[in-house]
């Protein structure tokens, strides 16, 4: 039992030793914690002191700031007041500026006026100086003249005495002359009677002369060549004196008409290039075929805005189509100009002497004119600058089968022969678009009356009528 108690005591003692050790360790730890806490406490104390000092400093700074703030508030109030003053001053200055600008403008205007007045016054001053110099000179001249007049006056006084003497002598002479005048009166009366009888004689001679002139005039009018000379003299001379305008050419005479086409430089220039005496026109009026060309140019300009191409049947040297192409600047137009001709005159297939009953010699005469060697090549050369002109050599209307446009805006027919003209119309008229224009060059000329009749019939069948122009052309506008 003692052994057990001893063992238990030993166990308790061991346990007590361990406990003691633990307590010692805890005590040492406690001591260390206490030292740490004392150190922390000291630090906190130091911090507290420091904070207290800071607080005191901050209170002081706060006071200072509050004092500054008060001052700033005062300054701000002052500044606001000053700002208001400045704004008031600014507004005032702005108003002053506007006033000054207005005044400145007025001053500028006055200055300009003053400058102008100054220039005017300088000019006037110069004029006055010149006048003054002139007046000085005039004054000197007048003094001299006055002296001269004085001298003359003395001389005149002397002359007056002499003249009084002479007047007396002249009075005597006058009496003698009066007597002479009476006898001269008598002589004059006798001469007047003689003159009267001479005037009678002269009148009867003038009457005789007038009859002779009248007779000569009548004889002159019976001869076509002298009539032609007379007509040309009247149109190019006498008529111009009594009218505002005279157009004489292509057997067309107009008086006092505007003929506005001459105002277009290009037209005038082209016309002058092709204008030459025509062998069919004995009068050779200076205006040539200008009016006919005007019709064509007008029609071409109208047709430019329509669909379809341009066609001329009967080209010869290409004068008319060349003028049209140049005036409307054809190279820039998006169309083709078809020019058809045999370039060898009439075709015996379609034209014979019977076609010209009013002028049986016409066919031979015209063929001689139209058959120019190398004509086709010449015309091609003339139009070479226009890539959109097609020159087709062939007999009409057959040549249309080879090549011809489907739509036509401008159709000019100038074949001087009835069958080919109607043949062409039969093929092409239906292809003329609505608004398109057909011009017949020979329509109104009596020489080609057969063409007129056939074309009237053709158009009448289709419900159209042709407008006859004073140029001899015919005009149809397609519906
Ligand atoms: C009066 S000229 C044409 C003039 C032309 N428009 C101008 O600007 O001077 C008539 C032309 O028609 C041509 N001609 C006549 N009958 C013809 C036909 N059946 N076929 C083709 N051309 C023909 C002639 O060769 C002639 O050149």
Whether ligand 1 lies within 6 angstroms of the CB of 326 is answered as: no
Q: Which atom of ligand 1 is nearest to the CA of 343?
A: 25
Q: What is the mean pLDDT of residues 226-232?
A: 83
Q: How confident is the model at residue 37 (pLDDT cuts 50, 70, 90)?
A: confident
pLDDT at residue 14 greater than cutoff 90: no
pLDDT at 98: 83
Q: How confident is the model at residue 231 (pLDDT cuts 50, 70, 90)?
A: confident
Q: What's the gap in Å between 164 CA and the centre of ligand 1?
A: 100
Q: Which atom of ligand 1 is nearest to the CA of 312?
A: 6
Question: 331 or 29: which carries more pLDDT confidence?
Answer: 331
Whether ligand 1 lies within 6 angstroms of the CB of 346 is answered as: yes
Distance of CA 216 to the CA centre of its chain: 55
Q: What is the mean pLDDT of residues 156-179?
A: 86
pLDDT in tens, 413-457: 999 999 999 999 999 999 999 999 999 999 999 999 999 999 999
Which of 96-100, 293-297, 300-304, 444-448 shows the lowest mean pLDDT across its residues?
96-100
Of all protein residues, the one whose alpha carbon is nearest to atom 11 of ligand 1 is 314
Q: How confident is the model at residue 2 (pLDDT cuts 50, 70, 90)?
A: low
- Contact between 435 and 477 (Cβ < 8 Å): yes
The contacts of residue 250 (CB under 8 Å, 6+ apart) are 278, 281, 285, 287, 288, 289, 290, 291, 292, 471, 472
pLDDT at residue 7 greater than cutoff 70: no
pLDDT at residue 124 greater than cutoff 70: yes
Average per-residue pLDDT for the chain? 90
Q: What's the gap in Å between 424 CA and the centre of ligand 1?
A: 12
pLDDT in tens, 97-115: 888 888 888 888 888 898 8
In the sheet that 432-440 helps form, which strands lie side by side, from edge to edge?
A: 389-393, 337-341, 309-313, 408-413, 432-440, 474-477, 467-468
Whether ligand 1 lies within 6 angstroms of the CB of 342 is answered as: yes
Q: Which atom of ligand 1 is nearest to the CA of 423?
A: 19
Q: Which atom of ligand 1 is nearest to the CA of 350?
A: 19
Ligand 1 pocket test, pick from 270, 326, 342 with the greatest ligand atom count within 8 Å of Cβ, gives 342
Q: What's the gap in Å between 355 CA and the centre of ligand 1?
A: 15
pLDDT in tens, 383-418: 999 999 999 999 999 999 999 999 999 999 999 999
Distance of CA 354 to the CA centre of its chain: 54
- Give the max Cα distance, the chain: 228
Q: What's the gap in Å between 39 CA and the centre of ligand 1?
A: 139
Whether ligand 1 lies within 6 angstroms of the CB of 429 is answered as: no
pLDDT at residue 349 greater than cutoff 80: yes
Give whichever of 45-59, 200-214, 230-244, 245-259 has the largest mean pLDDT: 245-259
Q: What's the gap in Å between 252 CA and the centre of ligand 1?
A: 22
- Terminal Cα-to-Cα distance of the chain (whole angstroms): 158
Q: Which atom of ligand 1 is nearest to the CA of 344?
A: 25
Question: 344 or 84: which carries more pLDDT confidence?
Answer: 344
Rounded CA-CA distance 394/378 in Å is 16
Of all protein residues, the one whose alpha carbon is nearest to atom 8 of ligand 1 is 320
Rounded CA-CA distance 405/79 in Å is 95
Q: What's the gap in Å between 169 CA and the centre of ligand 1?
A: 99
pLDDT at 10: 66
Q: Which atom of ligand 1 is nearest to the CA of 415?
A: 12
Q: What's the gap in Å between 328 CA and the centre of ligand 1?
A: 23
Q: How confident is the model at residue 13 (pLDDT cuts 50, 70, 90)?
A: low
Percent of the chain with pLDDT over 70: 97
Please give the structure tokens belonging to residue 455. Answer: 């074309």
Closest by CA position to 397, among listed 421, 374, 429: 421
pLDDT at residue 72 greater than cutoff 60: yes
Whether ligand 1 lies within 6 angstroms of the CB of 414 is answered as: yes
- Contact between 454 and 420 (Cβ < 8 Å): no
């Amino acid at each position: 039992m003692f052994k057990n108690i001893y063992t238990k005591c030993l166990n308790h003692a061991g346990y007590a030793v361990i406990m003691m050790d633990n307590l010692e360790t805890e005590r040492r730890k406690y001591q260390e914690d206490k030292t740490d806490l004392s150190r922390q406490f000291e630090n906190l104390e130091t911090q507290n002191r420091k904070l207290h000092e800071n607080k005191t400093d901050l209170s002081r700074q706060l006071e200072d700031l509050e004092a500054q703030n008060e001052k700033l508030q005062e300054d701000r109030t002052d500044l606001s007041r000053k700002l208001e003053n400045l704004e008031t001053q600014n507004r005032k200055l702005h108003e002053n500026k506007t006033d000054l600008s207005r005044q400145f403008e007025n001053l500028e205007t006055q200055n300009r006026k003053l400058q102008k007045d100054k220039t005017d016054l300088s000019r006037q001053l110069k004029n006055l100086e010149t006048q003054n110099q002139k007046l000085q000179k005039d004054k000197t001249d007048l003094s001299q003249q006055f002296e001269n007049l004085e001298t003359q006056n003395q001389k005149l006084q002397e002359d007056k005495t002499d003249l009084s003497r002479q007047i007396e002598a002249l009075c005597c002479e006058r009496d003698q002359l009066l007597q002479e005048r009476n006898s001269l009166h008598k002589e004059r009366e006798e001469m007047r009677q003689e003159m009267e009888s001479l005037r009678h004689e002269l009148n009867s001679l003038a009457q005789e002369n007038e009859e002779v002139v009248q007779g000569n005039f009548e004889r002159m009018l019976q001869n076509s060549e002298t009539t032609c000379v007379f007509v040309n003299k009247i149109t190019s001379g006498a008529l111009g004196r009594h009218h505002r305008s005279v157009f004489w050419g292509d057997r067309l005479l107009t008086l006092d008409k505007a003929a506005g086409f001459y105002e277009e430089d290009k037209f005038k220039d082209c016309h002058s290039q092709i204008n030459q005496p025509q062998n069919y026109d004995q009068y050779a009026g200076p205006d040539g075929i200008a009016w006919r060309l005007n019709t064509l140019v007008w029609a071409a300009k109208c047709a430019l805005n329509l669909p379809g191409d341009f066609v001329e049947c009967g080209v010869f040297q290409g004068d008319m189509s060349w003028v049209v192409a140049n005036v409307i600047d054809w190279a820039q137009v998006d169309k083709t100009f078809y020019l058809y001709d045999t370039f060898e005159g009439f075709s015996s297939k379609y034209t014979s002497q019977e076609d010209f009953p009013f002028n049986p010699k016409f066919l031979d005469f015209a063929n001689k004119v139209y058959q120019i060697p190398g004509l086709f090549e010449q015309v091609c050369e003339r139009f070479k600058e226009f890539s959109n002109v097609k020159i087709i050599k062939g007999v009409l209307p057959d040549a249309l089968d080879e090549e011809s446009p489907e739509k036509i805006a401008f159709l000019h027919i100038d074949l001087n022969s009835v069958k080919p003209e109607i043949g062409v119309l039969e093929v092409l008229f239906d292809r003329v678009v609505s608004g398109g224009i057909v011009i017949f060059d020979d329509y109104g000329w009596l020489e080609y009356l057969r063409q007129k009749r056939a074309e009237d019939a053709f158009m009448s069948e289709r419900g159209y009528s042709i407008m006859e122009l004073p140029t001899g052309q015919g005009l149809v506008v397609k519906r």
